[in-house]
A and B are shown apart, each in its own frame.
Chain A
C-alpha cells in the first residue's frame, strides 16, 4: 500500500513538473512566432564549387534589381545529381540546380524538372547548346557554358603547334624527350571513354544514331558497327602510348612537372597548369582515323525544380537574367568558361585558351542525354581499358555492343 501511495505521489509530481515546463515553453515560443511574416522570396540554387564565385557576382546583382534573395549552395558535382533526384520528389531540394545537360534524360523520366520557355532567346544561343538542352522537343535547361576536351600543349617543350594527325603528334611528343609523349586521364580498369571519344569519332564511330528529329535514338545503337570496330583495333595498337593506369592525378602531375608535352584534357585543367607556371596553348585533337576528331560538347546550365515553390522567380532569374549577354559575359569573366550564348562567346574568344577550346569544338556534338546512355558509360570505358591492356579488340568490342544492347533492353 505504502509504495502505491508513493507511486501516485510521484506521478502527480511528474505531471506538475511537466505542466510547469510546458507553460514555460508556451510563453517563450509565442514570443518568437512573428519571425516568419517578413519572408521575402528566396531562391535556393545548387552550384558546384567551381562556378560558385562566378555566379555569386551575378546573383547579387539580380538580388539588387529584383529584391529576390538568391541563396547559393556549394554542392559537389558528384553528389549533386543523385541528391537532387532523391530530394526533389519529397518536395524538398533547391529551386534551381546547376548541372550538366546529360542529366536531363533521367530528370525528365523522374518528373522532377520543368520545361523552361526560352522563347525567342533560344536563337541567341549556339545551336549545339540548344540541341543539348532540348529533350523530346522541350527545353529543360538554361545553358550557361560549353565544355569540351582538346589538346593542351606545354609551349616550352612541345613544337609550335600540335600536328594534325595522331601519329605525328605522338612522334613529336617522343621527340620532346620527356617521360611521356602524351597523357590523358584514364581510370585504371574503368578507362575513360569521354576523353578518348574524339579519337573514336575520328574513325566515324558514334554511340547512337539520330532519329528524324536529330535526337539520339536509343533504339539505334551504332557503337558496334564497322567504324567502331576500326577504332577498337586501332586502340589495340596504342597500349604503349595510352596507359590505362594513368589516373587523372598522374596525368596532371606529369604535365605540371613538365614531363609531358601534350595533355588531352578540358578547360577545367587550365588553371592548375597555369598555377604551376606552365605556359599552355590549346589545339584541336589530332585525327587518328582520318576524319575530324570531334569531342563531345558538354553544356552546363540551370534546371528548375518541378516542385519549386518559387518557379516564377526561378524562371525570371534564369530567362530574364542569366540568359542575357551581359550576365553571360560576366560569368565568363569571373569563371573563364566558354559562354553558351553566341554573342558572349564571341567576346570571350579574345581569350586564347577559350578560343582554342572553341576551335576544337567547332563541329562538336552534344553528349547524349538520353537515359539509355547510363547503360553505356561504364562498360564502354572498361572495354577500352581492357583493349589497351592487350585484350582482343574485335571480340571485346563485339561483347561490349551486345552487353549494352542487353542492358538497354532490360531497363525498359
Chain B
C-alpha cells in the first residue's frame, strides 16, 4: 500500500482548526456560529415530522380514519398494530422479510454494478464513453410505469422457461430492478470517483497491482461513503416502489411492504387506516435505522481524511 492512505479506523480523525474553539463564548458568538443552525434544524425537523404525526396518531387510534379528522391523538390503543401484525392472510413479517431481501439484494447489486461502471467511466478513456454515459441516463428516463405491460409479458415468458425467475418470484423482481442499476446512481458514483486523484492508481500500479486489485482493494475503500449513499438511495427507491412490484408479485406471501400495505387501504370502503399506519411506521424504521447506523460513513470524513 502506498503512503497516501491514512488509518481508516476512527471516524473523527481529521481535527481541523475549526474544532479547536475556546470553551467560553458569548451568546451572540455561539448563535452566529452554531446557534442559528439549531434554529433551522428545529424548524425543519417540525416541517418534516409534522405530517408523520398524523400517521403516528392514527396508528395508535383504535378506529381512526387517516384523513377524516384534523384532531391528533384523540384515542389510544394498540389495535392497529395487532391487526397488521397478527393477520395470517396478510403476513406482514413475510412482506417485511421480502422487502429487506429484495431491497438489500438490489441495493448491494446496484452499488456493485454501478461502481464497476463508474470506475471504467472515470478511469478509462474509450470510444463511446460519452455516448455510454448519456445512454444509461437516457434509458432510465423511460417511464417504466407505463411499460409495466411489457415487463409483465417479458417476465411471464421468462417464467415459462425458468420458473424461478418468472412472475411472483423475488428473483424476477430483483432482476427487473437490476436493470436500473446503471443509471442515475452510476452518475453519483462517477462524480465521486472523479474526485479521487489518479495519482493513487498510478502509485499502486507501480507497486505492481493489477487493475482489478486496484479497484477492489483501494478504490472501493476510498469511495466507501458514496457506496453507502447509493446503497441507501436504491434501497429506499426499491422499498417505495409500488407500480412494478404490484404487477410482478401477486401472491400474499411474496409481496413487498409497499404492495401489501397499499392493498390494506386500496378499497375506500373497507380501508383499515389504523392497521396501515401502524404497518407504515414499522416499514419506515429500517431505513431510519440504516441511516442512523451508517450516518458516520455517509457524512464521515473518509475521503476528506485520506485524499490529499
Contact = CB atoms under 8 A, between A and B. Distances in A.
Contacts of A187: 268
Given A49-B90, A249-B66, A90 B269 contact: no
B258 to A, nearest CB: 13
Given A90-B153, A247-B67, A250-B67, A52 B89 contact: yes
Contact of A73 (B153, B246, B251): B251
A247 B70 CA distance: 13
A185 B268 contact: yes
A79 B68 contact: no
A86 B269 contact: no
Contacts of A48: 267
B250 A83 contact: yes
B270 A79 contact: no
Contacts of A53: 89
B244 to A, nearest CB: 13
B107 to A, nearest CB: 26
Given A86-B247, A247-B67, A266 B89 contact: no
Interface residues of A, number: 35
A256 B68 CA distance: 11
A252 B270 CA distance: 11
Given A92-B167, A253-B65, A275-B63, A74 B266 contact: no
A248 B65 CA distance: 9
B134 interface: no
A92 B152 CA distance: 11
Contacts of A92: 156, 167
A302 B122 CA distance: 59
A253 B68 contact: yes
Contacts of B252: 73-74
B152 to A, nearest CB: 6
Contacts of A79: 246, 263, 266
Contacts of A50: 267, 270
A103 to B, nearest CB: 15
Contacts of B267: 48, 50, 76-78
A86 B152 contact: yes
Contacts of A247: 67-68
B250 A253 contact: no
B266 A253 contact: no
Contacts of B271: 248-249
B273 interface: yes
Contact of A49 (B89, B251, B273): B89
A92 B158 CA distance: 13
A252 B68 contact: yes
Given A73-B251, A266-B269, A268-B270, A254 B90 contact: no
A254 B68 contact: yes
A90 B250 contact: no
30 contacts: A48-B267, A49-B89, A49-B263, A49-B264, A49-B270, A53-B89, A74-B90, A76-B262, A76-B263, A76-B264, A77-B266, A78-B267, A79-B246, A79-B263, A86-B247, A90-B152, A90-B153, A92-B156, A92-B167, A247-B67, A248-B65, A249-B66, A249-B67, A249-B271, A250-B69, A252-B68, A253-B68, A254-B68, A266-B269, A268-B270
Given A86-B149, A249-B65, A249-B68, 13 more contacts: A48-B267, A49-B263, A73-B250, A75-B263, A76-B264, A76-B266, A76-B267, A79-B266, A83-B250, A248-B269, A249-B66, A250-B69, A253-B65
Q: Which 7 A-B pairs have the closest CB atoms?
A: A253-B68, A249-B68, A76-B263, A249-B65, A78-B266, A76-B266, A268-B269
Interface of B: 63-69, 89-90, 149, 152-153, 156, 167, 246-247, 250-252, 262-264, 266-271, 273
